[in-house]
Structure 1
Amino acid sequence: MSKKSIAENAAAPESFEQAMAELAELVTQMEGGALPLEASVAAYARGSELVKYCAAQLEKVESQVKVLEGDMLKPFAADAAGEGIQ
């Protein structure tokens, strides 16, 4: 992804999944080391925006789940996950 295409993607993501896919692409390109310095900085800035967006979406969904569960969320117990499933 060139600096220009990173700037083109600067719009807000349409969904959490789209943001995660773009973030994964940015990470792959940055880890590859093929981006010039300016493009790396732009990719890092875009990645930071995407992380903030994803975190906000997760918080929003978590609060919706709390409402649906009547604020009675319980920690997930790995050993209880298989109970009742045969």
Structure 2
Amino acid sequence: MKLERDMQMQMSFEEAISQLEQIVARLEKGEVSLEESISDFQQGIELSRYCAARLDEAEKKISVLLQDEEGNFVEKDFEA
């Protein structure tokens, strides 16, 4: 999707979460037209997917340092 590709190049995770929160607040108020609600919902889905992808990337980068029996630090992949 074009919007999702644009987000990857221009938006931080924090900005995406902020926009998603604004969309949720607007939808919860119910003060927008049906067409606007559908558009907001679609954008919210794209933002949600973008945020989930960024979280998956971050999780892959995380590693945990543990000490072995000899006191040496050993790097292991993060397991959720």
Q: Which amino acid aligns with 2:54?
A: Q
Backbone CA RMSD of aligned residues: 2.2
* Structure 1 ranges of 4+ moved more than 4 A: none
Which structure has greater strand proportion?
2
Q: Which amino acid aligns with 2:28?
A: E
Pick 1 or 2: higher relative contact order, CA cutoff 8 A, min separation 6.
1
For the residue of structure 1 that corresponds to 2:76, the secondary structure is coil
Q: Displacement of 1:66 after TM fit?
A: 3.6
Give the aligned length: 65
TM-score, normalization by structure 1: 0.66
Identity, % of aligned positions: 37
Of residues 13, 18, 21 in structure 1, which corresponds to 2:15?
18
Aligned to 1:40: 37
Offset from partner CA, 1:32-69 (integer Å, 9 cap, x none): 00010000000000000000000000000000004884
Q: Displacement of 1:74 after TM fit?
A: 5.8
Aligned to 1:3: none
Unaligned runs of 5+ in 1: 1-9, 76-86
